[in-house]
């Protein structure tokens, strides 16, 4: 059943993205007076064909659905056949360089516009997210240096002391605001509330390097969602947790006297205390922590084990943890939703470009590339989580498709746009000979990227 959901969600996602992308090309081509011969979803043998009596465009659904194309009237692609004189003004190659530029760029632009609309729908209909409550930060992290103790609720952020204050509505909202400030190397002031009132915390992000702005960005800063319940979901036989008497349902309140409400921070503490006794303050509820019970201090010694991912020796106690964090339903008005959708699309597009640039220069791992297997997996997972998650996933992939097509690689839209920019500057069309050379090089790049992405998919699938 899960496989069927994944395949169906993947087909819907790819179908929507391809139609939107190609319709962007098609609509601007029609506006520029170019005759469109075929609009195809997929490649290979046609399964469905229909010719519009008004425009003469052949609409096709083909057997291989991974992509699509719009075929326009072009003297270079007639196979030597002459084009009627009446039709020549409607040929793509007879258009001005800026019209050709507009037609080719319309595909990626359509993907970005789709992402804006999808994000706006998510923001307008409401989405449940973790509240912006901070867990106790690890020592010497920027959050700890700023003065956070844990338990504070961040309500606003502003750039420097004189910047305009922006409200923070959720943990995701906080993450995006800090990502933007880190990219721009700015110092921010976070306003947070606790039992004693509202205080300002200075957070300096000017020294953050681009290579550190990744999925672990918030953890590196010392920010983890807090204010929730950290409970033991299970205990491994023969583990340090079993020997110390931990049991499923125990709620972890503190470790060595420091309050804990976040699994990531707790695991990091345990990893750094291999072979050293630590004291856990535990509330024994008996029902996964839902029923209050007596408090008990438990001494436990994390066992020294080798981390398969890093090869380092770390501490482990052999307990499965579950975190229940406070959540909030965030909903915005129509205009604000569109503004936030545009901003989220811009931020993700910039992040994608910078991440790809870091992979090119070797500052980021090529393991970040994903192929159709991973996309199908995430499509299925997001579909099972509900409409908001699936729409957000669709927006993310649409942005990725737009950015990918704008890369200056021959064969892609970005390669053609590069030719047109050269033509606009020099006044000369890039020769067919050089276009053929660049096309072969671009095709080699695409094949290499596809092979790496497929290898990463298989590596994630079979864990090698």
Long-range contacts, 436-440 (Cβ 8 Å, 24+): 438/410, 439/410, 439/411, 439/415
User: Which tokens is 70 given?
Assistant: 């719009």
Give the number of other Cβ atoms within 10 Å of residue 91's Cβ. Answer: 19
Sheet bearing 153-159, strands edge to edge: 166-167, 153-159, 187-194, 197-204
The label of the residue with tokens 């079993």 reads 242
Query: Alpha-carbon distance 334 to 29, whole Å?
Result: 31
The label of the residue with tokens 């003297």 reads 75
Which of 22, 152, 224, 283 is labelled catalytic? 22
Q: 303-306 and 295-300 as β-strands: parallel, antiparallel, unpaired? A: unpaired
Query: Alpha-carbon distance 2 to 109, whole Å?
Result: 33
* Cα torsion 423, 415, 97, 109: sign: negative
Task: Reply yes or no on whether 22 is catalytic.
Answer: yes
Kindly compute the dihedral angle of the four CA atoms of residues 223, 224, 228, 230, in this order, to the nearest 10 degrees. Answer: -130
DSSP assignment of 117-135 equals HHHHHHHHH-EEEE-SBBP
Burial of 53 (0-12, 13-18, 19+ CB in 10 A): exposed
Active site residues: 22
């Amino acid at each position: 059943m899960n496989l069927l959901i994944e395949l169906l969600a993947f087909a819907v996602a790819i179908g929507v993205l391809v139609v939107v992308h190609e319709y962007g090309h098609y609509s601007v081509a029609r506006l520029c007076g170019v005759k469109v011969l075929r609009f195809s979803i997929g490649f290979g043998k046609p399964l469905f064909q229909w010719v519009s009596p008004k425009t003469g465009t052949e609409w096709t659904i083909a057997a291989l659905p991974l992509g699509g194309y719009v075929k326009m009237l072009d003297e270079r692609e007639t196979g030597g056949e002459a084009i009627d004189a009446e039709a020549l003004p409607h040929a793509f190659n007879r258009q001005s360089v800026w019209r050709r530029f507009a037609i080719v760029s319309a595909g990626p632009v359509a993907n970005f516009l789709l992402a804006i609309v999808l994000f706006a729908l998510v923001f307008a209909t409401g989405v449940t997210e973790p509240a912006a409550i901070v867990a106790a930060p690890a020592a010497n992290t920027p959050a700890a240096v700023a003065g956070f103790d844990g338990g504070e609720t961040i309500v606003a952020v502003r750039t420097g002391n004189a910047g305009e204050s922006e409200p923070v509505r959720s943990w995701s909202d906080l993450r995006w605001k800090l990502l933007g400030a880190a990219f721009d190397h700015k110092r921010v002031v976070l306003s947070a509330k606790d039992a004693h009132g509202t205080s300002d915390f200075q957070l300096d992000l000017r020294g953050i390097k681009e290579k550190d702005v990744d999925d672990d960005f918030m953890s590196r800063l010392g920010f983890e969602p807090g204010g929730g319940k950290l409970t033991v979901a299970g205990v491994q036989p023969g583990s340090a947790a079993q020997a110390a008497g931990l049991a499923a349902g125990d709620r972890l309140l503190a470790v060595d006297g420091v309050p804990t409400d976040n699994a990531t921070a707790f695991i990091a503490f345990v990893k750094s205390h291999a072979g050293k006794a630590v004291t856990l303050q535990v509330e024994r509820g008996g029902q996964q922590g839902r029923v209050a019970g007596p408090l008990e201090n438990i001494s436990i010694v994390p066992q020294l084990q080798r981390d398969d991912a890093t090869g380092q020796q770390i501490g482990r106690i052999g307990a499965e943890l579950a975190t229940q964090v406070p959540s909030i339903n965030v909903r915005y008005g129509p205009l604000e939703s569109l503004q936030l959708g545009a901003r989220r699309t811009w931020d993700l597009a910039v992040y994608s470009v910078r991440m790809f640039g870091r992979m090119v220069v070797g500052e980021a791992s090529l393991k970040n590339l994903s192929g159709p297997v991973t996309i199908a997996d995430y499509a299925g997972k997001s579909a099972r989580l509900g409409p908001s998650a699936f729409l957000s996933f669709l927006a993310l992939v649409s942005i990725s498709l737009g950015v990918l097509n704008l890369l200056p690689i021959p064969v892609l839209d970005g390669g053609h746009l590069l030719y047109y920019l050269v033509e606009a500057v020099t006044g000369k069309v890039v020769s067919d000979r050089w276009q053929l050379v660049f096309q072969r090089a671009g095709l080699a790049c695409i094949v290499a990227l596809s092979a790496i992405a497929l290898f990463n998919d298989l590596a994630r699938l079979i864990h090698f």
